[in-house]
Structure 1
Amino acid sequence: MTGHSEEETTSLSVKEGREKRVSFPPDEEMVSDFVDSRVQLQEADSLSLTDIILAYKQSCEKHQVKPNTKALDQLKQITCVTDRARCFDLSGERLDYCSCESLEEILKSVQFDFISLQGAELEENGASSLLDMFLYYESATHLNVSSNSGMGFSGWLSLSHLLRRSGCLWRLDACNMPMVDYAAQALSKALLTSRLTVLHLENTCLSGKPLFTLVGALKRNIALQELYLSENKLNGYQDSMQLADLLKYNNTLRALDLSNNTTSDSGLEEICDALSFQKTGLRTLILSNNHITHRGMSHLQNVLPHLKTLETLNLGKNNLENRGIHTLKESLMINRSLLQLGLAATGITCEGAVTLAEILAESRQIQRLDVRQNQVLAGGLMALSLALKINRSLIRLDLDQQVKEEKVRCLISVCRKVILNTDGSWVRIENNRDFLSL
């Protein structure tokens, strides 16, 4: 199989110097024909692991490649070919065009929950061929194509078609490769009608025009619920304005990860202004390590009392200091939606911990507070312990592992039961109720 265009038929020269042509029927016929043929094979009892492995080896011989050992080992672990297998992991395996072609004998017989092609050195023809197969056979519900910068135009075109037409694919990971113009356009076109609910685009050089193109499609998307844009050098100016537009016009997103960017205080202002438009949408916002300071908390202060759906806010690794926590104090007391607050490595001392204790004393809903990698010593811990005596919502308090035992006795003394997790967090269990770590 090989790449196709909008007319769903294309001719493409391959390495052997010959042309290979494939024609796809209309999508509804394509899927129904495959399902019918699959059922017939099952009824005929002709699908067995032995047959599939033999067919794959013969295909490898035909295409003059060695059978992939990793693929064979995973095939041998499959217990039922009529249900989706859990995983088909080809990450780190070099898959040239012929290797990709030979895999069709597996894909026509077995479907998977997760297929990983991360770092598989996919070439343009091979990527296009393999992605066409994934569409035709509805091979995966979760696909990882990260770290394949050689997919080329045809590969991205096939990926776009897969995203638009697949009836089962719900998650795509496409990280660690530059989002060049044709890739951004192909992905954005797909997102206009895609059924994807989770999209990972970490470290894809999205800043600037690629983000503009992506947001243009996402403003009209009504399916995507989780978007991960960490490590994209997103700035506090044009990029933050685009993200603000996304939040203004999209009410479907439930989680937005912007960690490890350079949003800064000016970008946070744009995002906070847009959050006021979120009436039924965003529940998780991750802004850790974004060059935000205590000055930016004034923007959050203005919007937090009005947010009705935001449940998780991570501001870790930003230099908020005690002043930033004090700025947020009143708005956090008023807010009734926030369940988890991340403040790790934000420059808080005992003074900031006292402010947090005052917030906890008033809070009826905060369940988790992370204050690791801060200078919270005995005085701050004492304040938190007194707050825990009043608070009945907090389930988990994350503290540094190296906190000395004598400095946390005050914490233990006021809780009916406290457990120290292996990751250094303290979990309180009250009224004989069991709480799972968040």
Structure 2
Amino acid sequence: MTHCSDNEKDEQSDDDGAQRLQENLKKTSKGGKHVSFPPDGQIVSGFAEHKNADRKDESCLTLTEVTAAYQQSCSRHQVQPRPHILQQLQQGVCVGGSVKCLDLKGERLDHRSCEALEVVLKSLHFDFINLQAAQLEENGAASLLDMISYYESTTHLDISDNSSMGTSGWRALAHLIKQSVCLSRLDVCNVPMVDYPALALSKALLTSRLTVLHLHNAQLSGMPLYTLVGALKVNRALRELHLTNNLLNSYQDALQLGDLLRYNTTLRTLELSRNAVADAGLEELCDGLRRQTAGLKLLLLRNNQITAKGMVHLAKTLPLLKVLQVLDLAENVLGDEGVQDLRTPLMVNCSLLQLGLAQTNITCEGAVALAEVLAENCHIQRLDLSQNPVRVGGLMALSLALRINCSLDSLDLDQVPPEEQDQFLMETQTRLRSEIRQCCLANARRLSRLPTDPSEADGAR
């Protein structure tokens, strides 16, 4: 099935999008790039004139009928039906033409196998299509993605671990991102996002309806990130951006991410775990965070080589934040000194609900500082202190603070360490952990009884 009419119409929008992106990046174009889909025979066979009518006609098919149609399609394309696909169709639950998942992970789909799937994608809508590690080559990728786009086959697509899609495959993916009305989440992880893929994705994001984008381990550091941020500065649809393990550095990359936070007010989640943002990069992020008067709610900075020095920048920013609700600093070497720097700013912050400090070298001294925060702050609901050597002194301070704290309903702590030899200390630690747990449960029960509608609370008073 070939949809050259859709794609030819889209060539003009490609050129417009490229111009907008280059203007945003403050670059001068050095010549237009011709963008077109491969010849008809190289994309998808069996063009359908009226896709909406086709979907309506096909939606009344049972899964048994779709299974039979898939087997016939395989016969026409001279490929064997995939047992895993047959099993899913036979065991699936179809509600109004919609099926939960089509899992093609690791299926090794060649061009003809992809074309044989058209009848399935034409007849059913899937909440999730998993193409991870399907070893898609260029023509097969273009065919499959073009079908998914044309038939609006899914709301969540995972095309991770496919590094051989070629120019045609990436062009088809960009077309899907731009044109799909129902695609809301895309995962493209473990695929190098450099050169053409980075530009194609960025151009598509200028007009995309995507709300969630996962780009883990995509080699985005440097120019690819610069290009992506250029598009996201003007994007008004994306709500979650996940960039774990991209070797993002503390200088140029952090500067771009800080710039993104200055201009984009629609992002709600920014995940930067397992990168190298470091203290200097955190300063750039904090400069952007101060501009987030209505926007980012989750910032995940786990394992980013951040130290106590970086907390100086965060301490200046925390009192100004009005919308950030979740901050994860786990697996960074903050130590007690870093927590001390955050103590007073955390007391006055009114937006933060969850704070992640797992495996950050916090001892009893840092736990005492956090206990002082909990005694004053009535907003934090969850605190993660797991994998930190907090002993009796810190536990006692936390237990006392929770007797007056009314908001914290979850405090993650490690069990009594096996190296603890003193029986009295072991029993005391166990008792204090139990008291902390009971206080959190009491807060949880109290919070569950509170009205969620402010007008109800006013009426109660």
* Aligned mate of 1:218, from 232, 257, 262: 232
Summarize deviations over 1:22-76 as a string: whole Å, max 9, x none.
7989xxxx7xx3222333455xx6x222321121111111211110111111101
Would the alpha carbon gap of residues 76 and 234 (structure 1) be closer, same or farther in structure 2, given more than 3 Å must change?
Answer: same
- Which of 23, 34, 37 does residue 51 from structure 2 map onto? 34
Matched, 1:295 2:309: yes
With the length of structure 2 as denominator, give the TM-score of the two structures.
Answer: 0.85
Q: How many residues align?
A: 415
* Residue 248 (structure 2) aligned to one of 212, 225, 234: 234
Q: Which amino acid aligns with 1:35?
A: N
| Pairs within 5 Å for 1:318-357 | 318-357=332-371
Equivalent residue, structure 1, for 2:157: 143
Indicate conservation of the 8 Å contact 1:114/1:142, yes or no.
yes
Quick check: 2:149–2:176 contact (8 Å CA) kept in 1?
yes
Preserved CA contact (<8 Å) 2:54 2:122? no
Cα deviations across residues 244-283 of structure 1 (Å, max 9, x unaligned)? 1100000000000001000010000011011111110000
SS of 2:88 mapped into structure 1: helix
Q: Is the 8 A contact 1:316 1:345 kept in 2?
A: yes
Would you say the 8 A contact 2:320–2:349 is kept in 1? yes
* 1:257 and 2:257 matched: no
Match of 2:67 among 39, 53, 74: 53
- Contact 1:294/1:323 (<8 A) preserved: yes
Aligned to 2:327, what secondary structure does the other structure show? strand
Partner of 1:109: 123
Aligned to 1:429: 442
Please, which of 184, 189, 194 is the counterpart of residue 208 of structure 2?
Answer: 194
Asked whether the equivalents of residues 43 and 143 of structure 2 are also in contact (C-alpha less than 8 Å), the reply is no
In 1, Cα distance between equivalents of 2:8 and 2:394: 63
- Contact 2:149–2:180 at 8 Å: present in 1 too? yes
Structure-2 separation of matches of 1:385 and 1:406: 12
1:11–1:22 CA contact under 8 A, matched in 2? no
Cα distance in structure 2, aligned partners of 1:301 and 1:265? 13
8 A contact 1:237–1:266 mirrored in 2: yes
Cα gap change, 1:219 to 1:292, in 2 (>3 Å): same
SS in 1 for 2:315: helix
Q: Does structure 2 conserve the Cα–Cα contact (< 8 Å) formed by 1:49 and 1:81?
A: no
Give the share of equivalent positions with the same residue, in percent.
Answer: 56
Higher strand share: 1
Q: Per the alignment, do residues 413 and 117 of structure 1 end up closer, same or farther by CA in structure 2, a change over 3 Å counting?
A: closer
Change (3 A) 1:275 1:188: same
Distance 1:52 1:296, change over 3 A: same
Whole-Å Cα distance in 2 between the matches of residues 116 and 36 of structure 1? 26
Q: 1:178 maps to what in 2?
A: 192
Shift of 1:390: 1.0
Shift of 1:412: 2.9
Among candidates 88, 96, 108, match of residue 74 of structure 1:
88
Structure with a larger share of its residues in helix: 2
1:208 aligns with 2:222: yes
Shift of 1:96: 0.6
Task: For residue 401 of structure 1, report the CA deviation from its aligned partner.
Answer: 3.4
Per-residue CA distance 1:360-383 (angstroms, 9 max, x = gap): 010100000001111101111001
Indicate yes or no: 2:330 matched with 1:316: yes
Structure 2 residue matching 1:143: 3-state secondary structure: strand
5+ long unaligned stretches in structure 2: 12-35, 418-425, 449-461
Contact 1:195–1:223 (8 Å) recurs in 2: yes
Distance 1:390 1:81, change over 3 A: closer
1:12 matches 2:12:
no
Structure-1 separation of matches of 2:215 and 2:336: 33
Q: Structure 1 101/405 Cα, relative in aligned 2: closer, same or farther at 3 Å?
A: farther
Residues 347-371 of structure 1, C-alpha deviations (whole Å, 9 max, x = no match) = 1110000000000010100000001
Give the Cα–Cα distance (whole angstroms) in 1 for the partners of residues 44 and 10 of structure 2: 11
Give the secondary-structure state (helix, strand or coil) at the position aligned to 1:86. Answer: strand
C-alpha distance in structure 1 between counterparts of 2:195 and 2:43, whole Å: 27
- Distance in 2 separating the partners of 1:126 and 1:434: 53
Kindly state the Cα deviation for residue 81 of structure 1 after the two structures are TM-superposed: 5.8
- Separation (CA, whole Å) in 1 of partners of 2:313 and 2:447: 37
Equivalents in 1 of 2:37, 2:97: separation in Å?
34
CA 1:133/1:402 → structure 2, altered by over 3 Å: closer, same or farther? farther
Query: In the aligned structure 2, how far is the partner of 1:434 from the partner of 1:65?
Result: 58
Structure 1's 34 and 355: CA in aligned 2 closer, same or farther, altered over 3 A? Answer: same
Kindly state the Cα deviation for residue 152 of structure 1 after the two structures are TM-superposed.
Answer: 1.0
Could you tell me which residue of structure 1 aligns to residue 431 of structure 2?
409
2: distance between equivalents of 1:181 and 1:199?
19
Cα displacement string for residues 330-358 of structure 1 (whole angstroms, at most 9, x for unaligned residues): 11011000000000111111000000000
RMSD: 2.3
Give the Cα–Cα distance (whole angstroms) in 2 for the partners of residues 144 and 431 of structure 1: 36
1:405–1:399 CA distance, 2 compared to 1 (3 A): farther
Range with greater deviation from structure 2 (405-414 or 68-77) = 405-414
Write the letter of the residue equivalent to 1:146: S
Matched-pair contact (CA < 8 Å) for 1:345–1:371 = yes
Q: Distance in 1 between matches of 2:223 and 2:172?
A: 22
**1:390-401 correspondence runs (5 A):** 390-401=404-415
Residue aligned with 2:305, SS: coil
TM superposition shift of 1:149 = 0.5
3-state SS in 2 of match to 1:39? helix
| Distance (whole Å) between structure 2 residues aligned to residue 12 and residue 245 of structure 1 | 37
Following superposition, the deviation at residue 193 of structure 1 comes to 0.6
Aligned to 1:423: none
Deviations 1:129-165 (A, max 9, x none): 0000001110000000000001111111101100111
